[in-house]
Amino acid sequence: MLTGNIKNWEAINGLKIIEIAFNFLEKNDIKNLKAGKYSINNDMYAFVIKTISLAPESPAKFESHKRYLDLHYLISGKEVIGVSKINKLKISRQYDNKDDSFLYEIPENYDKLEMKPGDFVIFFPDDGHMPGCHLEKQVEIHKIVIKILLNIYNSLDFY
């Protein structure tokens, strides 16, 4: 997992290789994009998501991916993402090729990453994550998840 803020992404070693993803976030009027899927290039696509946060004890699940990296970027609201290495999680659904995901049960202990507008996080295949949660009260979340084909970007310096 790698975290940062959109204002300083260029200072983080290794991110230049996925500059196209950050350019999509910086050069588009992302606040006004409608919810849905957007193609960036043959190796990347983005989902614009507008939703209400869930309590971590809700039916939410941890997930991880095999073919894509996930870049989560919070536009507005406040989001808490549960995080844990997948070797500490119990699989509840085996890998599904259609949505490139494993699902996991929520463990008793896991880290909670608090996201505020402008923050991003990149999840790698060994990073289990449970997005879209809150700690205190429900809030509206407006975010973008960029899926980056791992086979193309397997030379990332930090991975």
Domains of the chain: 2-149 (2.60.120.370)
Is there a contact between 75 and 22 (Cβ–Cβ < 8 Å)? no
pLDDT at 159: 44
Whole-model pTM: value is 0.92
- 155 CB-near residues (< 8 Å, 6+ apart): 17
- 59 CB-near residues (< 8 Å, 6+ apart): none
Q: One digit per residue, pLDDT tens: the chain, 159 residues?
A: 999 999 999 998 888 889 999 999 998 799 999 999 999 999 999 999 999 998 877 777 899 999 999 999 999 999 999 999 999 999 999 999 999 999 999 999 999 999 999 999 999 999 999 999 998 899 999 999 999 998 755 555 544
pLDDT at 153: 55
Q: Judge residue 119's burial from the number of C-beta atoms within 10 Å of its C-beta, 0-12 exposed, 13-18 middle, 19 or more buried.
A: buried
Q: Measured between alpha carbons, how far is 89 from 128 in angstroms, rounded to an integer? A: 8
The pLDDT tens digits for 21-37 are: 999 999 879 999 999 99
